[in-house]
Amino acid sequence: MSKHHLAGFIAAFSLLGLGVTQAAANPENAEAAYKGQASAVDPASAQVVHSPGAPDLTSAEFEVAKEIYFQRCAGCHGVLRKGATGKPLTPDITKERGQAYLEALITYGSPAGMPNWGTSNALTKDQITLMAKYIQHTPPTPPEWGMAEMKNSWKVLVKPQDRPKKQMNDLNLPNLFSVTLRDDGKIALIDGDSKKIVKTIETGYAVHISRMSASGRYLLVIGRDARIDMIDLWSKEPAKVAEIKVGIEARSVETSKFKGYEDKYAIAGSYWPPQFTIMDGETLEPKQIVSTRGMTVDKQEYHPEPRVAAIIASHEHPEFIVNVKETGKIMLVNYKDIDNLTITSINAAPFLHDGGWDSSHRYFMTAANNSNKVAVVDSRERKLSALVEVGKIPHPGRGANFVHPKYGPVWATSHLGDESISLIGTDPKNHPQYAWKHVDTLKGQGGGSLFIKTHPKSRHLYLDTTFHPDAKVSQSAAVFDIGNLDAGYQVLPIAEWAGLKEGAKRVVQPEYNEAGDEVWFSVWSGQEEESAIVVVDDKTLKLKTVIKDKRLITPTGKFNVHNTQYDVY
């Protein structure tokens, strides 16, 4: 394909961009889940449907394509393909686009955040042809997952009364990192001081996040297959003490942090079924399941798949703040009386995704990605403070808080869909003229950014461009001097520093150590290829060390215990 035609395809792809893909495991095949080979939804669980006007597929082809879709695409486009971070892929759209267009779309990706599945060799040419045919058919519907299924999956491996009363190991827990080994179905616990792997622990497939309990004792990780593993960091050797599956596909887990309720409850949000579950904070016993199906905030239309995205624990009330993606509603779930939940629903904007606190830990800043907005929720007054227009498809992770030389305290997000970094003022007391306004825009390397990060003790602002289609961009990171933002960014050649041979070598998620003087980046290649973690000296912006280990398979997210426990970002 000529450069001229490729440019034309890329321009067209923004109309039907595919977002960051997710994967999940067949709950009945744990071994396959650990190997990263199973589907989010059991392919045998959904009826095969051949839609009029769609290309012919045999039943066997349909089953293979269904598995690939749930592994690679459902996280952004939805199980029912109605879209969110990625555009809708329903047959009325895909059949009109046509086979050739869809194949090119899947092959080359787009600057708006769709991975280049073909040119990165993640999918073969035959698989791409198959997937282009499959998404022209009616989406199959997976089964529900209720209390009976949850309790059947629930295991208490070590009872609370049998656990230690104090830390029984010599680990420097505040500087411990929980690292997702995405396609290996594990996490690695890495000592931030020695840079050595303490232990790898089997988990659900493709862990999405790690979260710390309020006490800093329990590490909770949730896989895209909706399996939660609770790890006791006080044990002589950190070990799992409980596990549960809260659905078929999921992304979020959190624990109660309001004074007097520390470690009392845990909550998890599911992508399928669309619901959240409140559990006992020490055993993960499921207590309450709440469906999120309902009406959208904009068109007041019923949506059958409003997935639960980010969840954050309020410090102002005994509440969890729950993002419901497709409906655009933010739910304040009061757990003071677990048998009689009180839920306050705040109308924000559709496609709520991730976000975090402002520096005061009072205001929840959360991206409504395909609405190109950031919603600001006052957790003390329990109301929406603002909806702020930002760039295209904001994807902040938790975002980044710092003091701007002109605007005072600000919160920043980067974007999947463009090169901009949006800064929002967050100080209504001392800088009211800038509060909850888009005060400035920085220019980064390009679209495809997943995470932006800084630290109260750092003068730098880092962001990745993990899903940019240009390998030179996706294999590096940009860093700004907070005191001189007008100078633009410096490029750090993270993948080059890693010294790896083959592989995509995508650079993802800057994460600080406890002291705030190191920044860790994952260099993410395929399951059969070498990956690494690169540690940068935050003062000098020079390479400090490279962590390599044969157990470090497809590392992605990294979560420092102290920073995660205390919401430092």
Q: Please say whether the beta carbons of 109 and 119 come within 8 A.
A: yes
Q: Which residues contact 522 (CB under 8 A, 6 or more apart)?
A: 179, 507, 508, 509, 531, 532, 533, 555, 556, 557, 558
- E-strand ranges in 265-382 read 265-272, 275-280, 286-291, 294-295, 302-303, 308-313, 319-324, 329-334, 342-347, 352-357, 363-368, 373-378
Q: Find out whether the peptide bond into 111 is cis, omega within 30 degrees of 0.
A: no
E strand or H helix that includes residue 150: helix 147-153
Question: Is there a catalytic annotation at residue 77?
Answer: yes
Please report the DSSP string for 157-208 in residue order.
SS-GGGS-SS--S---GGGEEEEEEGGGTEEEEEETTT--EEEEEE-SSSEE
Q: What is the DSSP letter of 57?
A: -
Neighbours of 307 (CB within 10 A): 30
Q: d(Cα 281, Cα 289) in Å, to the nearest integer?
A: 15
Question: Is there a catalytic annotation at residue 431?
Answer: no
Q: Please say whether the beta carbons of 446 and 463 come within 8 A.
A: no
| CA distances from residue 64 to 11, 117, 330 in whole angstroms, order as listed | 30, 17, 36
CA proximity to 307, closest of 45, 148, 77, 41: 77
Q: Which of these is catalytic: 114, 150, 230, 279?
A: 114
Q: d(Cα 333, Cα 243) in Å, to the nearest integer?
A: 23
Q: Which of these is catalytic: 137, 395, 404, 562?
A: 395
- Rg, the chain, Cα only: 22
Q: Bridge-partner residues for 312, per DSSP? A: 321
Please report the DSSP string for 67-78 in residue order.
HHHHHHTHHHH-
Question: Is there a catalytic annotation at residue 73?
Answer: yes
* Side chain identity, residue 131: M
Q: What is the DSSP letter of 437?
A: S
Q: Which of these is catalytic: 73, 131, 230, 331?
A: 73
Question: Is there a catalytic annotation at residue 395?
Answer: yes
Here the tokens at position 420 are 């901009």
Per-residue b/e over 213-222, b at no fewer than 16 CB within 10 Å? bbebbbbbbb
| CA distances from residue 115 to 70, 104, 132, 508 in whole angstroms, order as listed | 16, 12, 15, 14
Q: d(Cα 477, Cα 534) in Å, to the nearest integer?
A: 11
CA proximity to 226, closest of 213, 208, 210: 208
Q: Which of these is catalytic: 208, 303, 353, 438?
A: 353
Q: Which of these is catalytic: 76, 150, 230, 279?
A: 76
Q: d(Cα 406, Cα 5) in Å, to the nearest integer?
A: 44
Q: Which of these is catalytic: 77, 208, 303, 415?
A: 77
Question: Is there a catalytic annotation at residue 353?
Answer: yes
Residues noted as catalytic: 73, 76-77, 114, 353, 395
